[in-house]
Amino acid sequence: MSTATRRTRRVRPGSVVTGLLAWVVALVMFFPVLWMFVTGFKQESQAATDPPTWLFTPTLEQFRAILGRDFVPYLLNSLMASVGSTALVIVLATPAAYALSLAPVGRWKDSLFFFISTRMMPPVAIILPLYLMANNLGLLDNITMLSLIYTVMNLPIAVWMIRSFLLELPKEVLEAARVDGAAFGAEIRRIILPMIAPGLAATGLICFIFAWNEFFFAVSLTSTNAPTVPVFLTGFVTSEGLFLARLSAAATMAALPVILAGWVAQKWLVRGLSLGAVK
């Protein structure tokens, strides 16, 4: 080790204050999540005390009860809608983004803004036509319908994101591939896709989270066959009062897949979100 690194760094008081502030803010933000996680392991009576109970014997009773209430079908519905729509979004958005960046079609700017403008539309404004369409197609309370809606909902964001990743590809690398004799298909498969893979992962994760968390369409267009996890969660908010511990346990389970996906995509995500920053 060199002497320079061994020498104690002088700490400026300003950085101590900002550091402390950052910790406080982070803990305040994280506390509700932690509380939810902890509460899931309590008895219902312990969850409802005032002041809150800090010390208790953890129990898996709530989790057992949730699985006993047929949680799995909701989970599968959510997974199908989220994974299915995300896959479809990536497949559709990548060529669209290509046509709006590397090989721009005519009036690409207008198309781009049209895409994002659809995202500005409040969902309430289109729920009635959507409901009627689903009804006429016989797709009411059907997970296919929900997957399609999530696809449409996430497409604009995915197109915009993937487009930004494509724009950051060094132009010379694509030209080098062309000079090296790569035909269009080979250029896409061998050069472009591997290079934007981190970006695709980041885009996929965001679409997955949006689809997973979506509530309004799910609650409006499904009832018994195709409800998703967020719909399941509301089942614990009843007029007879809150089952706080059970709700917490359910919410923890609902959050798990997203956390898992984020953890798996973490390596890619960091690279994806900082794509282009690295030369």
Partner 1 sequence: MATVSYQQATRFYPGADAPAVDGLDIDIADGEFLVLVGPSGCGKSTSLRMLAGLEDVDEGTIRIGDRDVTGLAPGKRDVAMVFQSYALYPHMSVAENMGFALEMAKVPKDERIRRVREAARILDLESYLDRKPKALSGGQRQRVAMGRAIVREPQAFLMDEPLSNLDAKLRVSTRSQIAELQRRLGVTTVYVTHDQVEAMTMGDRVAVLKDGVLQQCDTPLGLYRRPANAFVAGFIGSPAMNIREFTVTDGHARIGELDVPLSRATHTQLAREDSDRVLLGFRPESVELVGPTEGYPVAVRLVEELGADTYLYGSVIGAAELNGPDIVARIAVDHTPSIGDTVHLRVRPGQEHAFSPVTGVRLE
Sign of the CA dihedral with 125 first, then 129, 130, and 135 last = positive
Stretch of 144-152, 182-190, 239-247, 254-262 contacting partner 1, by CB under 8 A = 182-190
- Nearest to partner 1 of 139, 177 (CB atom): 177
- Total binding residues toward partner 1, as defined by CB under 8 A: 19
The structure tokens listed for 110 are 């207008």
Stretch of 90-98, 191-199, 219-227, 265-273 contacting partner 1, by CB under 8 A = 191-199
| Under rule CB under 8 A, residue 195 binds partner 1 | yes
| Under rule CB under 8 A, residue 102 binds partner 1 | no
Stretch of 59-67, 80-88, 123-131, 175-183 contacting partner 1, by CB under 8 A = 175-183
- Nearest to partner 1 of 176, 260 (CB atom): 176
Stretch of 20-28, 85-93, 187-195, 231-239 contacting partner 1, by CB under 8 A = 187-195
Classify each residue of 64-93 as buried b or exposed e, where b means 16 or more C-beta atoms within 10 Å of its C-beta.
Answer: ebbeeeebeebbebbbbbbbbbbebbbebb
Strands 241-242, 237-238: pairing is antiparallel
Type and span of the H or E element at 241: strand 241-242
Q: Tell me the closest approach of the beta carbon of residue 93 to partner 1, in angstroms.
A: 21
Q: Tell me the closest approach of the beta carbon of residue 278 to partner 1, in angstroms.
A: 8
| Under rule CB under 8 A, residue 107 binds partner 1 | no
- Nearest to partner 1 of 22, 270 (CB atom): 270
Beta strands in 85-233 (DSSP E): none
| Position among 23, 167, 180, 264 found at the interface with partner 1 (CB under 8 A) | 180
- DSSP letters for 195-240: HHHHHHHHHHHHHHHHHHH--HHHHHH-SSSS--HHHHHHTTEETT
| Position among 176, 237, 260, 264 found at the interface with partner 1 (CB under 8 A) | 176
Q: Which residue has the tokens 């061994």?
A: 6
Which residues on neighbouring strands pair with residue 241, listed in sequence order?
Answer: 238
Which residues on neighbouring strands pair with residue 242, listed in sequence order?
Answer: 237
The structure tokens listed for 58 are 């953890």
Main-chain phi, psi angles of 277, to 5 degrees: -70, -25
| Position among 36, 92, 177, 255 found at the interface with partner 1 (CB under 8 A) | 177
Stretch of 5-13, 132-140, 178-186, 226-234 contacting partner 1, by CB under 8 A = 178-186
**Residue ranges binding partner 1 (CB under 8 A):** 170, 172-173, 175-183, 186, 190-191, 194-195, 197, 278
